[in-house]
Structure 1
Amino acid sequence: MAHDPEAVPVVMVFAGNDPAGGAGLAADTEAIASMGCHTAPVVTAITVQDTSNVQDFQAVGADWVVSQARAVLEDMPVACFKLGMLGSVENIEAVHTILRDYPDIPVVTDPVLFAGGGGDLAERDVPDALRSLIFPQTTLLTPNAPEARALAPAADTLDACAHQLMSDGCEFVLVTGADEPSEQVTNSLFGNERLLERFTWDRLPHTYHGSGCTLASAIAGLLAQASEPRSAVHEAQAYVQEALAHGYRIGMGQHVPNRLFWADGDDDE
């Protein structure tokens, strides 16, 4: 039986372009495809970066962001929104207006503030704009530890950061711990104003370019398939761990996750 293309869930992604292909829209597209979904990529920023760090970026004009999104939204059914690098307050305002018009579509927000190498990927006022405009519309927020601290600077622990981010409007918060100096990686999921679960993963020997994009996009793809958020978080983390374990060093900087590891042809079955 021929596959019905109308049955493929659509995830609309607002994110920046990474010319190295390790993070941003390239990572989003591969991860979402791996979850069996179609990606509708809306370009919010153009970056100058490699696998080591970001040299510069330029946000796309907010009117272009809106035009890209509305053209697709009028043409196909979107099952989930995934937000990555938005780049400017004007773009956050633009995305806010779009999300407001589609309140029943789940939103996964990866609050991209820094590149894996430490370079800035957002203007100074972006954290405040995210808190006031995007978080109240967010189903699941996926900050890493530095982002959580930057978004909730008054909190004295990562758990307190998560509670503050829920108070800002996020329904669920998954704080990832790969940046913490621990023997293993611990990710913590919060919801319903409490800690729901901690997940412990073996720490792999490398650092990775685009791991946060991969995780958030995998979750978005699963939510688009009507998974419950907690189940989506479980499954997406397992997928990302495999993608990282199969990663490769294609440049002179960080490793790149192999998000298409499942298609490498090594399986005899």
Structure 2
Amino acid sequence: MTKTQRPDRPLVLCVSGHDPSGGAGILADAEAVQAARAFPLTVITALTEQDTCGLARIHPQPPEQIEAHCQRLIQDSPPSALKIGLIGSAAIARMLARFIDRLTTDEQAWIPIVLDTVLATGTGQSVADAALPQTMRDELIPRCTLVTPNLPEARALTGADTPQACAECLLALGAPWVLITGTHEAAPSVTNRLFGANGERHTWDWPRLPGEYHGSGCTLASAIAARLAHGTTLVQAVESAQAYTWQTLERALRTGRCQLTPNRLLDARLKHPLGERAA
């Protein structure tokens, strides 16, 4: 694509694992990005053997293969945002850190990077090797615009306990923004907390829906990335993406025996994330 050519829609490069059940992972990313009227570019970090009831095995892909896929894509289709989900191994995380450095030092303009710090499935199975959390802390988190851990992931990454303490640790690593989600807290509502390195603090409370859901974190992070690709401010993107994600859960689909699947394409007539004027 030449400098005079522009894509018809903003492009979001999604780098994550493949969930064959379609609840989470790269399929969730693609649907959430498409629902926001952006276009997903997808690179798979790991194949997984899983269904709506849980994970059986994870098969990380060779880092050099993932890197080659990313490089080829950005040379043809420069993205307006990067979303990283399931990584699977420390070696892949180190490769992604190198890729981000090249991405931000080449002719490609600065782009927002959203890191969904996936360390376990919704049913609790680990999807990370032993070295991945430390590599995330040292090499990936400092290079990202926003990290979106749930509270158990934030605790695992920092050793802290409260959302405030966890966020302070993650901000100290170099992330400009941290969104800690409260889906795993025992409370009648889900409280999501956004912390900025500039001192900004924002809190949202959402009614807790009945049932268990597979892929809500992937949906939220990808929806944020798509809105950032449209040029939305970070706080606005986080707020709008939460509302969208809650709707996908409220109208979730029964696709298997266990967890429900977010209905990410719930309405083909969803309003444009920037409003009707931009549609």
Q: TM-score scaled by structure 1?
A: 0.94
After TM superposition, give the deviation of residue 206 of structure 1 in Å.
Answer: 1.1
Is the deviation greater in 5-14 or in 126-135?
Answer: 5-14
1:124 paired to 2:166: no
Paired residues for 1:177-188 under 5 Å: 177-188=182-193
In structure 2, the partner of 1:112 is: 118
Opposite residue 187 of structure 1, the aligned amino acid is N
In structure 2, the partner of 1:136 is: 142
Task: Map Cα deviations across residues 184-204 of structure 1 (whole Å, 9 max, x no partner).
Answer: 110000002535111000000
Paired residues for 1:199-210 under 5 Å: 199-210=204-215
- The verdict on how the C-alpha distance between 1:38 and 1:264 changes in structure 2, with shifts beyond 3 A counting, is closer
**Matched position secondary structure for 1:242:** helix
Retained in 1: the 8 A contact 2:175–2:197? no
Retained in 2: the 8 A contact 1:163–1:193? no
In structure 2, the partner of 1:30 is: 31
Task: Map Cα deviations across residues 129-169 of structure 1 (whole Å, 9 max, x no partner).
Answer: 0011101111011000110000011x231210011001111
List runs of 5+ in structure 2 lacking aligned partners.
105-109, 271-279
1:157 pairs with one of 132, 156, 162: 162
Retained in 1: the 8 A contact 2:25–2:218? yes
1:42 paired to 2:43: yes
List runs of 5+ in structure 1 lacking aligned partners.
none
In structure 1, the partner of 2:230 is: 225
Q: Matched residues in 2 for 1:122 and 1:195: separation?
A: 31
In structure 2, the partner of 1:90 is: 91
Retained in 2: the 8 A contact 1:188–1:195? no
1:148 paired to 2:149: no
Q: Matched residues in 1 for 2:137 and 2:251: separation?
A: 35
In structure 1, the partner of 2:247 is: 242
Q: Matched residues in 1 for 2:257 and 2:269: separation?
A: 23
**Matched position secondary structure for 2:76:** coil
Retained in 1: the 8 A contact 2:36–2:226? yes
After TM superposition, give the deviation of residue 262 of structure 1 in Å.
Answer: 1.1
Percent pairwise identity: 39
1:191 pairs with one of 189, 193, 196: 196
Q: Matched residues in 2 for 1:84 and 1:12: separation?
A: 11
**Matched position secondary structure for 2:267:** helix
Q: Matched residues in 1 for 2:57 and 2:181: separation?
A: 26
Task: Map Cα deviations across residues 182-237 of structure 1 (whole Å, 9 max, x no partner).
Answer: 01110000002535111000000111100000000000000000111101001000
RMSD of aligned Cα (Å): 1.4
Q: Matched residues in 1 for 2:7 and 2:56: separation?
A: 40
In structure 1, the partner of 2:180 is: 175
After TM superposition, give the deviation of residue 66 of structure 1 in Å.
Answer: 0.4
1:18 paired to 2:52: no
Q: Matched residues in 1 for 2:200 and 2:181: separation?
A: 13
Q: Matched residues in 1 for 2:172 and 2:195: separation?
A: 12
Q: How many residues align?
A: 261
Paired residues for 1:249-268 under 5 Å: 249-263=254-268
Q: Matched residues in 2 for 1:156 and 1:216: separation?
A: 23
Q: Matched residues in 2 for 1:12 and 1:89: separation?
A: 20
After TM superposition, give the deviation of residue 263 of structure 1 in Å.
Answer: 2.5
In structure 1, the partner of 2:277 is: none
Q: Matched residues in 2 for 1:263 and 1:231: separation?
A: 22
Q: Matched residues in 1 for 2:62 and 2:112: separation?
A: 25
